[in-house]
Amino acid sequence: MSLYSSAVKRPIFTALVFVGVAIIGLFSYTRLAVDLFPDIETNMLSVIIAYPGASASDIETNITRPLENSLNSCENLKEITSQSKDNMSIVSLEFNYGTNIDIATNDVRDKIDMVKSSLPDGISTPIIFKFSMDMIPVSIYSATATESVNGLYKILDEKVANPLNRVTGVGAVTVSGAPQRQVQVNVNPERLESYNLTVEQIAQVIAAENLNVPAGSFDIGTETYSLRVEGEFKASEQLLGIVVGSQQGRNIYLKDVATLNDTIETRVMESYTDGVKGALVVIQKQSGANTVSIAKDVKKIIPELQKTLPPDIKLTLLMDSSDFIQQSIDSLTETILLAAIFVMFVVMFFLGRWRATIIIILTIPISLIASFIYLMAVGSSLNIISLSSLTIAIGLVVDDAIVVLENITKHIERGSTPKEAAVYATNEVGVAVIASTLTIIAVFFPMTMATGLAGVMFGELGWTVTIMIVVSLICALSLTPMLSSQMLRLTNTQGRFFDRIHAPIKVFLNKLDATYAKMVNLCVRNRWKTLIACFGLFLLIMIPASQLIKVDFMPASDNSFITANVYLPTGTRMEVARATALKIDSLVREKCGDVFRTLSFSVGQADEDNTMAALQSNASNLISFRIRCVDPEYRDVSIYDVGDEMRNIMENMPEIYKYSVSPGGSGGMMGQGASTVDVEIYGFDLATTDRIAAEMKQRLGEVKGLRDLFISRQDYRQEYQIDFDREKLAENGLNSATAANFVRNRINGSYISTYREEGDEYDIVVRYDEVYRQSLQAIEDITVYNAAGAAIRVKELGKIVERQTLPQIDRQNRERIVKVSGSLYKAALSDVVDGVNNVIDEMRAEGKIPTEIGIQIGGSLEDQQDTNADLGLLMLLCVLLVYIVMAAQFESLTYPFIIILSLTFGVAGVMLALMITGQPVSLMSMVGMVMLIGIVVKNGIVFIDYANLNRERGMSIDHAVIAAGRSRLRPILMTTATTVLGMIPMAIPRGTGSEMWQPMGVAVVGGLTLSTLLTLLYVPALYSIFGANGVKRTRKKLKKAKLKA
């Protein structure tokens, strides 16, 4: 027994099956996480090796290069970049999308083991660092304080970070920008010398005193006691009382040679929020946790935590990644609802029966809900991709039900009872419905096989739409006939009120049918003219389009977030940077303060032992701004305008060396922030590449649409170096290492012991008092002791010279690289790339680029080229599959060809729509085009199928075409209208994040509208041409056969 007849015979069973699906689906819906994108597995690994004391170029030769050479042979490796900076080498590996990163990690570990023996001895254990999207903070709070600044770290750590850590899903909570407590022992070198003591001795004595030692256990009588020596300091003042040495029989106490300062660290990153100093509380999620719910929970708990804090500490939300997600998801949900309502009106308009409309519309919620089950089953989330797939599918899922219901209605009108009509009418169109659904699947299913970035983005889209379409097909073959058998009535009236409203529509539709039949008649009579007119129109659109339309990668969206980095001249003191930052802060606030929700910045250098900080750039001369604006609907300027304003302000501040403003945050991937263009200059000689980069930057400044030009290479740093004379060292029984260590312990300090209090540990640092660390003279006067105990001044061992060094050397694909990068503004990527290429060619022509220097364009362009290649392949695959499905259905090779031609008009329609809306061709509009392949051919299939049927029924070719036109106009217009109107809410820019999928909506609406209009004209013409040729051929054959006979 077939699906539909059993469904009709067992209405309760059928209804309950779908109710069951709905319940499971709704249950899944409540369990679905909400996120911005589908889970994208990381494809980046970094290997971090520390080599204390080595300069950037030492690191490059000794660590980075051997490491790169070994790691380069990893499988699936896409790109290898490295940074060699003072004390540290960071090699970053980018793998192809879809690579199993765990296997890659093992591979990398093996490769490191192989090369480890040839690396220097003093290196730290290599750290393999996996960067994933999960590490992007969920939210950042700032804590401002006035009186409590000194204890801020401890208070935040205990009262904020610890409770937040207990929130489900929260991975790590870090407090930064709050200085930690430190016990400083500041020694006076003059006294030290007079007592014949050294910093090292003092440090060792402190370490030796500050110790708890278990001394074992012993028995007294019947009991066993353990014996301990508790030497640890109970209070920091006790330090002053320890004996550090003796002279002439008298004890020398620490207080005789040093002062004690129980205070907070001096060199730290400071952060200011809305002009008030404070710390940052950064909240990261566990991998796979729900960003939106974490942010919600955190928001809920923060006011409670606020109550436990001292009154002067204020917690303010700085960044909340869930905001943008929630808003995008909300506006997409609205889009889905709007689409559903539009579709409902279309069905009502054409059918004029409310019962029929209800039956058809029911397929929408059922297929929507079924897709939630899929999302739940694969562990995905409600995200931009899955929700926009739902919007796309809404217009498509009703098509099958419409065809089935239309045929059932026809049978009822001819006299069948609804029950019989439901079975037999569904039987009649079942195969045709399956075939037309297959063409749609032929387009969306290959998307699941796409690779690269496109695969990540569209895999889920492909699956979701495929599943929804399949569910809608099942629905159309079971639920629709069942409901029709129960609900449809053999009457022509729908209630007096409804009839009155629908009467004019009916008249209009009948007139439309008649007019179109006349037009088809005309087309068939003037076949070639019609064809020429259609393709003429195609050329008329495509020729200006190829000139006017730009190519872009990802549309930039407004996520209310701006970051900016401001560099002062290298070596500027943090205090100066702070003053400048406050000045910028007030100037910016004056100009556009009303759109800011919070404005925060951080200055200064982060801790050396902070891995996260090692990956970010921080220096005493760098100011990083983080600005959160109010939601787009509450302001009339975009973040790009605000960015411009900030640029203007900084342009006029002479103290700023360079700056970059990134509205939307940095990046350009995934539709957040602007696209970037990088000019990569490869070459070993630093001076040459510096020169080229500088010139390139200047020339690129003149390219229209490109700004925020930035040279990636850091500036040479002014520094002092002590050049020890090796002979003198040797004469005094010293070597460079011991001498250097002496200097280091006096300036940087010796961190040999920790002070414990209430379970927390604080560093005890022993070094020269600050007044003895402030001049070159003081450094020259540092005394170094040799093994014999003789004191020698640094100035006797060598001299201090001023030099410039490069603090960091960047490499990419095993070559030194300088990148000149700029971000795009109100210009299409294609234009800017042309401009950049011109500049490169000019410089080549002028002989300014030596042959050994390689130049390449990277940035968004690279991503775009990769993705375009993937999409191109995908399109080809889709067209082939669709052709195969159609050829199989029609058992013919010519008819599918006629239909495939409608794709050209689809492309023309996309171009026309993009021209009208003034948008560039972007990744999203390309996806729209891929989708069109499946949608556009549907109209042709419906038309030709019916024309064939008419011919089989014995009509002449022309009559068959005209009759098909008259009968199929409504179904074609109806299915097209549902798809187009379903997409219109997407094509209209509304709300946060809509910039991203708008091009896709515009592409589908434009392409489908134009191709449908032209399909209705050129298909009859072309069909009759092919048909006439076929008839001629048969006649010729008959003639030949007759002649032979």
Partner 1 sequence: MKTVFIPYNQAYKDRILTLFDNLNIRGFTLWETVQGRGSRRGEPHYGDHAWPTLNSAFLTVVPDEKVDNLLARLHEMDAATEAQGLHAFVWNCEKMV
Which stretches of the chain bind partner 1, using CB under 8 A?
A: 411, 414-417, 419-421, 424, 427-429, 948-949, 952-953
Q: How far is the CB of 2 from partner 1 (least distance, A)?
A: 13
H or E element that contains 122 = none
561 close to 627: Cβ distance less than 8 angstroms:
yes
Closest to 639 measured CA to CA, from 596, 701, 591, 586:
596
Are the CB atoms for 452 and 96 separated by under 8 Å? yes
Select from 361, 306, 353 the least CA-distant residue to 144: 306
Cβ proximity to partner 1: between 500 and 953 the closer is 953
**Alpha-carbon distances, residue 623 vs 594, 644, 821 (angstroms):** 22, 18, 19
| Nearer residue to partner 1 within complex by CB, 417 or 865 | 417
Report which secondary-structure segment, H or E, holds 197: none
Strand partners, 551: 921
Q: Are 964 and 895 in contact (CB under 8 A)?
A: no
CA–CA distances in Å: residue 750 to residues 200, 253, 763: 8, 19, 10
Closer to partner 1 at the Cβ: 948 or 998? 948
Evaluate whether 275 touches 586 at the Cβ level (below 8 Å).
yes
Report the nearest approach of partner 1 to the CB of residue 952 (Å). Answer: 3
Q: How far is the CB of 829 from partner 1 (least distance, A)?
A: 50
Say which amino acid occupies 287.
S
Task: Kindly state the smallest distance separating residue 953's Cβ from partner 1, in Å.
Answer: 5
Q: Which is nearer to partner 1, 33 or 412 (CB)?
A: 412
| Least distance CB 423 / partner 1 (angstroms) | 8
Q: Which CB sits closer to partner 1, 960 or 1003?
A: 960
Q: 3-state class of 319 per DSSP?
A: strand
368: DSSP letter: H
Q: Output DSSP code: residue 234.
A: S
Helix-helix angle 527-548:496-525, to 10 degrees:
100
Shortest CB 883 distance to partner 1, Å: 20
Cα 925–Cα 927–Cα 928 angle in degrees, nearest 5: 60
Nearer to partner 1, 103 or 490 (CB): 490
- Give me the least distance between CB of 471 and partner 1, in Å please: 25
Nearer to partner 1, 258 or 432 (CB): 432
Is 427 or 605 the residue whose CB approaches partner 1 more closely?
A: 427
Token representation of residue 812: 């990419």
- In b/e form, how buried is each residue of 226-260, taking b as 16+ CB within 10 angstroms? eeeeeebbeebeebeebebbeeeeeebebebbbeb
**Rounded to 5 degrees, what are φ and ψ at 599?**
-130, 120
State the minimum distance, in angstroms, from the CB of residue 436 to partner 1. 14
The residue among 427 and 754 lying less far from partner 1, judged by its C-beta, is: 427
- Of the two residues 415 and 759, which places its CB atom closer to partner 1 in the complex? 415
- Residue 307 or 953: which CB sits closer to partner 1? 953
Nearer to partner 1, 278 or 418 (CB): 418
Least distance from partner 1 to the Cβ atom of residue 1030, Å? 17
Q: How far is the CB of 1018 from partner 1 (least distance, A)?
A: 24
Q: What is residue 849's three-state secondary structure?
A: coil
Closest distance to partner 1 from the beta carbon of 856 (Å): 58
The SS3 assignment for 626 reads strand
Name the β-bridge partners of 808: 85
The set of residues, in sequence order, having a beta carbon less than 8 Å from that of 284 and lying 6+ positions away, is 134, 135, 136, 137, 138, 170, 171, 172, 173, 174
Segment holding 822, helix H or strand E? strand 815-824
CB of 968 to partner 1, least distance (A): 15
Residue 386 or 485: which CB sits closer to partner 1? Answer: 485
Query: What residue has token string 């899903």?
Result: 169
Pair 800, 780: CB distance under 8 Å: yes
State the nearest-atom distance from the C-beta of 1037 to partner 1, in Å. 23
Which CB, 411 or 502, lies closer to partner 1? 411
Least gap, CB of 486 to partner 1 (angstroms): 15
Please say which residue, 287 or 427, places its beta carbon nearer to partner 1.
Answer: 427
3-state secondary structure of 406: helix
How many Å from the N-terminal Cα to the C-terminal Cα in the chain? 51
Our measurement of the distance from residue 1024's CA atom to the centroid of its chain's CA atoms, rounded to an integer in Å, reads 51
Q: With 0-12 CB in 10 A as exposed, 13-18 as middle and 19+ as buried, what is 916?
A: exposed
Q: DSSP 3-state assignment of 681? A: strand
Tell me whether residue 56 or residue 942 sits nearer to partner 1 (CB atom): 942
Go through the chain and tell me how many residues it has: 1045
Give the nearer residue to partner 1 in terms of CB position, either 230 or 891. 891
Nearest distance in Å: CB 431, partner 1: 9
Residue 52: how many other CB atoms lie within 10 Å = 12
Q: Where are the alpha helices (DSSP H) in 593-627?
A: 611-615
**Longest Cα–Cα distance in the chain:** 141
- Output the smallest distance, CB 414 to partner 1, in A: 4
Q: Shortest distance, CB of residue 416 to partner 1, whole angstroms?
A: 4
Question: Least distance in Å: CB of 1038 to partner 1?
Answer: 23
Dihedral of alpha carbons 715, 720, 726, 729, sign: negative
- How does 775-810 read in b/e, with b if 16+ C-beta sit within 10 Å? eeebbbebbbbbeeeeebebeebbeeeeeeebbbbb
Distance set, CA 351 to CA 490, 499, 973, 975, 1019 (Å): 15, 12, 12, 12, 25
Of residues 245 and 965, the one with the C-beta less far from partner 1: 965
